[in-house]
Amino acid sequence: MDYPRIIKGRLDSFRVKPNIPDYQKMRDNFRWEEISSELAWFDNEHINIGHVAADAHLETDRRNKKALIWESQRGEVEEFTFANLAKLSNKFANILVNEAGVLRGDRVFFFLERVPEIFVGILGTLKAGAVFGPLFSAFGPDAVRDRLFDSKAKVLVTSPSLKRKIAEIIPGLPNLEKIIVVNRKNDVLDADDLSYEAAMERASENFQTVHTNKEDYAIMHYTSGTTGKPKGAVHVHNAVIGHYATAKYVLDLHSDDIYWCTADPGWVTGTSYGMFGPWSNGITQFVYEGVFSARQWYKMLEKWKVTVWYTAPTAIRMLMKAGDDLPGKFDLNSVRHVCSVGEPLNPEAVMWGERVLGKSIHDNWWQTETGSIMIANYAIQDIKPGSMGRPFPGITAGIIDDNFDELPAGQEGNLAVRTGWPSMFRTYWGKHDLYQSRFKKGWYITGDRARTDDEGYFHFISRADDVINSAGHKVGPFEVESVLMEHPAVAEAGVIGKPDPITTEVIKAFVSLKRGFEPGEDLKEDIKRFAMKRLSMAAAPREIDFVDSLPKTRSGKIMRRLLKAKELGLPLGDTSTLEND
Ligand code: PRX
């Protein structure tokens, strides 16, 4: 079905003039150097994301402007100015250096709920010259252990209940020297732990931010691939130029905006655009701690008079499901600009936005590895529902064939980006060969399949690999299979993404049982619970099928492609490498 193009009209028809008045002109004249000169550098070589996001505002009229408005699930509100954030993050940096012995380049990981302390802590970590890594609070012990072990994290910042959840893995982490516990509910802490509150109380509010080199490592986000456990994609302090520019020109942030990014800081969207993008622009952002509820989300938009909203397709589809008459019960007039990322945004969802919300939803595309938005629909440009938009000015994206040569418009191929943008990842932690294998002939190969049309809009087709997209959470099948195989009944497991109308994909596992175990519903439920406890809700299989054996290549690799084709009733394709029975 063809969907009508959404015509944006003339520049003077906009309530607030977009930051990009003319896309093509912007592209022709874009210089990363000019953008970088808008940020607070120490000198030509030295910049620090924590400084740019907080302290840089102290000498401006934004000093006492609200940086963060936080509302908890229970409705408590806490507010922080840029000056508050600067002071508190200084204190946290002092704790790291003086009480936890953190040195430049050490890894400090956060396994914490969406509370203000995670924002303060991450800024403080960056100002201390250390590298931060966030872990989604819904992760179970196995997921946390793999990431802390691989990164050799020295410090973990967590809460009493999350610490209890992962207690069993802590003795197995030889590099972990200190646990800082954020104790909002006044629990009794373990003797070795450092209380965040007590340490903040005694820490000095003065700290000399480390003058990090622009290429010093700053950020580590774990991301899934087809093979092996998740890998730590590493970003440098220079990445903030990309966060800043894309937040300004794609999210179209203006100084009076109230901005809400619904992503959790455990994921890259929640740091690039839930911290650094808006704060480097000096923008007030709202953060809601609570879980999704359609009514509650509309209420938050209304209550805080949100003007710019960055969310995700699964959330939009859940809002659609909650009914067309619900948004009408709230005053959503303040909302000027809506963006979405992380999964394919169906054209129906874009049309729903126009019809029911009266807002255009601007899909954009990027990855953990790219660090910032690469392809987007801009406030000024017409939207073609079903398209992710056009490359960010300063970014060259292309569709290439298997020889890494560019394909003409209309042909499906591998989505690739010309190397060299500021927020490009600099390595996979401890796996530099794997990192280098992602670059060919001057392109970064993204692992997605796509095509362009004759106006240069990009259209997403699929992943090129087996990575599963479950409500925007990228899940590597290997990680799930490894956990399933820890279950006493499981001999082998193969995991695929099964299409789902709300969450893009759900996780489906094919499991063969060890001798002596009988297939049955109870066992299925037991295996599901087992996986949920160790990984997270998004990564645990929703469906399990018991099979006698799994299709494998002659070299013993599970052929997930075949499992998926069978599941969907599709042609099996090339099976020449299939092992013979
Ligand atoms: O497959 C693409 C999908 O999400 C992947 C990146 O996921 P992650 O590294 O977790 O990054 C999260 C920050 C966005 C991509 O390789 N993806 C992302 N945006 C879109 C998308 N798929 C379709 N349409 C999008 N707009």
Q: What is the pLDDT of residues 281-337, one digit of tens each?
A: 999 999 999 999 999 999 999 999 999 999 999 999 999 999 999 999 999 999 999
Residue 348: half-sphere exposure toward Cβ, Cα within 13 Å:
9
Q: What is the mean pLDDT of residues 249-273?
A: 98
pLDDT of 1: 64
Phi, psi of 198 (to 5 degrees): -65, -40
* 467-568 carries CATH number 3.30.300.30: yes
Per-residue pLDDT reduced to its tens digit, 17-50: 999 999 999 999 999 999 999 999 999 999 999 9
Q: Whose CA is nearest to atom 5 of ligand 1?
A: 367
Indicate the domain borders of the chain: 11-452, 467-568
Ligand 1 centre distance from Cα of residue 440 (Å): 21
Burial 13-33 (b: 16+ CB within 10 A, else e): ebeeebbbeebeebbeebebe
- Least confident range from 203-217, 421-435, 544-558: namely 544-558
pLDDT of 471: 93
Q: What is the mean pLDDT of residues 423-427?
A: 98
Q: What is the mean pLDDT of residues 491-501?
A: 95
Query: What count of residues does the chain have?
Result: 581
Q: Is the CB of 286 under 6 A from ligand 1?
A: no
Q: Is the CB of 151 under 6 A from ligand 1?
A: no
Q: Is the CB of 438 under 6 A from ligand 1?
A: no
Determine the Cα angle at 111 with ends 107 and 116, to 5°.
100
What are the tokens at 378? Answer: 């801009």
Q: Is the CB of 223 under 6 A from ligand 1?
A: yes
**What whole-number distance in Å separates Cα of residue 225 and Cα of residue 479?**
9
Per-residue pLDDT reduced to its tens digit, 68-97: 999 999 999 999 999 999 999 999 999 999
Q: Is the CB of 463 under 6 A from ligand 1?
A: yes
Q: 386 and 421 in contact (C-beta within 8 Å)?
A: no
- Are 11-452 and 467-568 the same fold in CATH? no
Give 581's pLDDT tier (boundaries 50, 70, 90).
Answer: very low
Please name the residue ranges forming H helices in 79-140. 82-94, 116-127
Number of H helices, E strands in the chain: 18, 27
Cα distances (angstroms) measured from residue 538 to each of 474, 542, 564 = 9, 9, 19
**Residue 227 in this model has a pLDDT that exceeds 70:** yes
3 state SS for 480-517: HHHHHCCCCCEEEEEEEEEEECCCEEEEEEEEEECCCC
* Of residues 496, 475, 472, the one with CA closest to residue 550: 496
**Residue 224 in this model has a pLDDT that exceeds 90:** no
Ligand 1 centre distance from Cα of residue 525 (Å): 30
**Residue 574 in this model has a pLDDT that exceeds 80:** no
CA 342 to chain centre: 8
Q: Is the CB of 469 under 6 A from ligand 1?
A: yes
Phi, psi of 273 (to 5 degrees): -115, 0
* Of residues 154, 131, 150, the one with CA closest to residue 215: 131
pLDDT of 229: 87
Atom number in ligand 1 closest to CA 474: 10
Ligand 1 centre distance from Cα of residue 450 (Å): 12
pLDDT of 576: 67
Cα distances (angstroms) measured from residue 240 to each of 23, 52, 116, 421 = 22, 8, 21, 11
Q: What is the mean pLDDT of residues 468-494?
A: 94
**Residue 472 in this model has a pLDDT that exceeds 60:** yes
Phi, psi of 506 (to 5 degrees): -115, 160
**Which of the listed residues 345, 474, 503 should we mutate to test ligand 1's pocket, taking the one with most ligand atoms within 8 A of CB?**
474
* 11-452 carries CATH number 3.40.50.12780: yes
Return the percentage of the chain with pLDDT > 90, whole number.
93
pTM: 0.95
Q: Is the CB of 388 under 6 A from ligand 1?
A: yes
Q: 246 and 497 in contact (C-beta within 8 Å)?
A: no
**What whole-number distance in Å separates Cα of residue 544 and Cα of residue 517?**
15
Determine the Cα angle at 378 with ends 373 and 381, to 5°.
145
* Of residues 382, 368, 490, 384, the one with CA closest to residue 438: 368
**What whole-number distance in Å separates Cα of residue 281 and Cα of residue 253?**
8
For the chain, the distance separating the N- and C-terminal CA atoms, rounded to the nearest angstrom, is 44
Indicate the SS3 state at residue 116.
helix
Per-residue pLDDT reduced to its tens digit, 86-143: 999 999 999 999 999 999 999 999 999 999 999 999 999 999 999 999 999 999 999 9
Q: Is the CB of 474 under 6 A from ligand 1?
A: yes
Ligand 1 centre distance from Cα of residue 309 (Å): 18
pLDDT of 557: 82
